């Protein structure tokens, strides 16, 4: 059995992951970390350093500000780290890349296989259709803290990479804004209700529009992606990995 520490066990994604692992599987949660008092089938601690169980993988569904503790714990205990949290800054991403030289890290703001495929399709479409106007619209529940979502930014980067040059991102539009500039990618965040996550990428050409869209109907798809990431990362000692590696694993 692959032994997992679940960091952020009391959050929405932590609970979805724990519920899925209750099914018969080769993966088991040996300990969880969360600041909330909660009943659980596995021990819950308020701090990583309180854990005394041995583990093979550390997975996080919490907040960006705990990243230094996660990197330190995973390196000290020589176990791979899976980061499923969104909202990392460029400085955070630099820290992750640096830490991956010594320890195996899997980082993705969205662990859905469908979103991973969408990102590849967006890159392929962009390489065929550019130059054209590109707009990204994402919708999430009212409690989501970061905007735009990490997934929306990942889709925008896929378009920019296909262009083989940095393209400017415009976050939303206001009455005083100038008209659309050539090459910019518009990104729009909608917040409300209980929506799990919707992402649409529009390629707007003269006379026609192509839309690529993903609609998450349950957090279980993210939890299932996390299970695949755990199996994929088991045995890795160093390196930085993401959903493209998982999508094309042999």
Looking at the predicted structure, is the pLDDT value of residue 25 above 80?
Answer: no
Active site residue 144: yes
* pLDDT average, residue stretch 78-86: 94
> Nearest CA to 180 among 149, 147, 135, 210?
135
Provide the mean pLDDT of the chain.
92
For residue 166, give Cα distances in angstroms to 25, 185, 199, 218. Answer: 43, 10, 21, 34
Going along 94-207, which residue ranges are E strands? Answer: 104-107, 133-140, 169-171, 185-191, 197-205
Looking at the predicted structure, is the pLDDT value of residue 190 above 70?
Answer: yes
Write down the catalytic residue from 12, 78, 144, 248.
Answer: 144
CA 21 to chain centroid: 19
pLDDT tens figures, 210-245: 999 999 988 889 999 999 999 999 988 899 999 999
Give the pLDDT of residue 185.
96
Peptide bond connecting 15 to the previous residue in cis, omega within 30 degrees of 0:
no
Write down the catalytic residue from 78, 124, 140, 236.
Answer: 140
Q: What is the reported pTM?
A: 0.85
User: For the chain, which domains are there?
Assistant: 2-107+219-247 (3.40.50.720), 113-216 (3.30.360.10)
* pLDDT average, residue stretch 155-170: 93
pLDDT tens figures, 108-120: 988 999 999 999 9
> Nearest CA to 61 among 7, 17, 104, 22?
7
Non-local (6+) Cβ contacts of 204 within 8 A are 132, 133, 134, 135
Peptide bond connecting 190 to the previous residue in cis, omega within 30 degrees of 0:
no
Looking at the predicted structure, is the pLDDT value of residue 24 above 70?
Answer: no
Contact, 86 vs 150, CB < 8 A?
A: yes
pLDDT tens figures, 122-146: 999 999 999 999 999 999 999 888 8
* pLDDT average, residue stretch 160-165: 92
Active site residue 12: no
Contact, 98 vs 213, CB < 8 A?
A: no
């Amino acid at each position: 059995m692959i032994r997992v520490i679940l960091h952020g066990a009391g959050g929405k994604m932590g609970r979805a992951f724990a519920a899925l692992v209750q099914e018969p599987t080769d993966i088991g949660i040996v300990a969880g970390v969360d600041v909330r008092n909660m009943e659980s089938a596995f021990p819950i601690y308020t701090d990583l350093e309180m854990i005394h169980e041995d583990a093979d993988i550390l997975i996080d569904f919490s907040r960006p500000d705990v990243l230094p503790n996660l990197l330190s714990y995973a390196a000290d205990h020589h176990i791979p780290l899976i980061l499923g949290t969104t909202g990392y800054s460029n400085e955070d991403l630099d820290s992750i890349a640096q830490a991956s030289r010594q320890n195996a890290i899997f980082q993705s703001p969205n662990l859905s296989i469908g979103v991973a495929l969408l990102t590849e399709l967006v890159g392929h479409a962009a390489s065929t259709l550019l130059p054209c106007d590109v707009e990204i619209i994402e919708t999430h529940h009212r409690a989501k803290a970061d905007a735009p979502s990490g997934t929306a930014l990942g889709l925008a980067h896929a378009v920019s990479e296909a262009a083989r040059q940095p393209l400017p991102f415009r976050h939303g539009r206001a009455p005083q804004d100038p008209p659309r500039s050539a090459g910019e990618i518009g990104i729009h965040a909608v917040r409300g209700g209980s929506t799990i996550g919707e992402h649409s990428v529009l390629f707007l050409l003269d006379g026609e529009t192509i839309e690529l869209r993903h609609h998450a109907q349950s957090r279980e798809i993210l939890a299932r992606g996390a299970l695949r990431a755990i199996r994929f990362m088991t045995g890795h000692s160093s390196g930085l990995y993401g959903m493209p590696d998982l999508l094309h694993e042999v």
